[in-house]
Amino acid sequence: MPITVRPKPASIVTPPAQAPIALPRLQAARVIAPISNGASGASVVSRTCMVGIDLSETGVISGTTDMVIGRMVDPPDNLIIQHLMDDGLACVVRADHPDLGDSISQEQYERMRHVNVLPPGRMRIGLFQTLKQHGLRRELAISVTHFLAVPEIIAITDYCATLPRLICDRIARDPRLKMLPPPSWPIGDRP
């Protein structure tokens, strides 16, 4: 009887909020398609982990993970980093917000109360840093630990959430919400 050896599945780790965005894009870009559709019987196993806190938790240092998707804070020198995509920021508000039309000014943005998604551990960069660099403030109404909490809060309040554009694209499919470009100061691109 012949012995069939199946290759070990390729292991990909993403932060929970990025998995529904990153994996379809990787498939469409044919990054993982050759693996998951290969005649060799290879497959892809995806799991989520808070990338950026401690890379040892992802398995990339031990070798149990083949690819990690996310923003890296102080990656080790032996880790190969490749830029996969750009993502700016956008604002999400209630679709029938009484004070906003199709845009939001800096004054409106600073006057509003905001929903804040707490980034993990040392990942407190990006929006926090950009706002501080430009001397801008936002009044936080509530902080949540996951992007999935944002639509329900925004839909019943006059709050604003400033999030990665790719996540806003998903959230804004909810007819109760609308996505607006950020005010005309430089928060459109995340550092």
pLDDT in tens, 147-183: 889 999 999 999 999 888 888 888 888 999 999 988 8
Q: Assess whether 65 and 109 both reside in one domain.
A: no
Q: Assess whether 65 and 94 both reside in one domain.
A: no
**Owning domain of residue 27:** 1-85
Query: Count of domains in the chain?
Result: 2
Please report the pLDDT score of residue 190 as a whole number.
46
Q: Model pTM?
A: 0.69
Does 191 have pLDDT greater than 50? Answer: no
Residue 104 lies in a domain: yes
Q: Assess whether 58 and 137 both reside in one domain.
A: no
Q: Assess whether 126 and 140 both reside in one domain.
A: yes
Residue 5 lies in a domain: yes
Q: Assess whether 175 and 93 both reside in one domain.
A: yes
Burial 36-65 (b: 16+ CB within 10 A, else e): eeeeeebebebeebbbbbebeebbbeeeeb
Q: Assess whether 94 and 169 both reside in one domain.
A: yes
Domain boundary among 85, 105, 140: 85
**CATH (domain of 66):** 3.40.190
Q: Assess whether 77 and 94 both reside in one domain.
A: no
Q: Is the dihedral of CA 111, 147, 74, 80 positive or negative?
A: negative
Domain boundary among 31, 59, 85: 85
Taking the CB of residue 110, how many other CB atoms lie within 10 A of it? 14
CA distance 78 to 67: 14
Residue 190 lies in a domain: no
CA distance 114 to 159: 5
Taking the CB of residue 114, how many other CB atoms lie within 10 A of it? 18
Is residue 147 within 8 A of residue 166, CB to CB? The reply is no
Find the DSSP H helices in 16-93: 19-28, 33-36
Quick: pLDDT tens for 34-87: 554 554 555 666 666 665 556 666 776 677 777 777 766 677 776 777 776 667
